[in-house]
Amino acid sequence: MTTTVPALTQDCLREQAALRIRVARPDLAARHDLTSYDGLTAARSDISAEGDAGTMAVAVLRNVDPVRWVRDTCVFALGIGPEQAERWRTSFTRTVFLAGNPAQLRERFRFAHVADDCSAAWTAPGPAAATSSLRRLLKLFNAPAGLTARPDTLVEIPDGDRPPGRPRALRHLYLATAECTVSEALVHVNHVLVEAVLDGLIAPGDRLVVHQLPRIAGLPARLASVRVTPDKHLPGRLDVAAGLTEEALVA
């Protein structure tokens, strides 16, 4: 569902965080006052307490090339069927990132998508038990280095099975780099991209311009999807970690 963000105010950010919970987990929305920061925090605590219950995907990373990773994340999400997608959304598209070489693992484990250069691979979303042996074998992908601003980059999603008659679209993906590690960026961008694909915002053949800038504010276009996180320095406030703009049609 597309939602626009006219201004990145605290009220707007609470609304966006609440909307994500209402869509994925109406039961949590019924238990908590999602109009308040405390209510949102309580809902997140309930989600964390569920542990490995629900549905998860696993991404195995040998290294991270931002352009290729954005592209392949979209390709992976585009291959997920409706029933899997619905179950995964109830777990807020949880994805565990592990460090490993997919080229050495693809004969032992079943992956739903493997990057052409084997830099990354994804398992299909499913019960935690389905990936327990893979998660025991590998360590979490730990990239504590700070994310830095970089020149804007164009990413083209392969045509694949493009819906008939749907024109190609151009969107802008913004990622806030201030005090953001590479590991955190993977989580933020992963949620924005896969949920945009599952919501039909990104289709085969679309293009994304990736912007890495210190903070997301004063953007020239309205956002269709926002990744909202607690502010690291101001208790009781929310911040924007990433955002995807509304579409602009291209030839």
The residues near 152 (Cβ < 8 Å, ≥ 6 apart) are 209, 210, 211
Q: Calculate the dihedral angle through the C-alpha atoms of 111, 122, 69, 15, rounding to the nearest 10 degrees.
A: 150
Per residue of the chain (251 residues), what is the pLDDT tens digit?
Answer: 444 444 578 998 999 999 999 999 999 999 999 999 999 999 999 999 988 889 999 999 999 888 889 999 999 999 999 999 999 999 999 999 999 999 999 999 999 999 999 999 999 999 999 999 999 999 999 999 988 888 999 999 998 777 788 888 999 999 999 999 999 999 999 999 999 999 999 999 999 999 998 988 777 678 888 999 999 989 999 999 999 998 875 54
Q: Report how far residue 16's alpha carbon sits from residue 228's, in angstroms, rounded to the nearest whole number.
A: 7
- Closest of 250, 245, 247 to residue 224, by C-alpha: 245
Q: Report how far residue 33's alpha carbon sits from residue 215's, in angstroms, rounded to the nearest whole number.
A: 28
Q: Report how far residue 121's alpha carbon sits from residue 140's, in angstroms, rounded to the nearest whole number.
A: 14
Q: Report how far residue 136's alpha carbon sits from residue 133's, in angstroms, rounded to the nearest whole number.
A: 5
In this predicted structure, what is the pLDDT of residue 249? 57
What are the DSSP E strand ranges found in the chain? 55-61, 95-99, 113-114, 120-122, 126-127, 139-140, 150-156, 169-176, 207-213, 223-230, 238-245, 248-249
Beta 248-249 vs 169-176: how paired, if at all? antiparallel
pTM of the model: 0.90
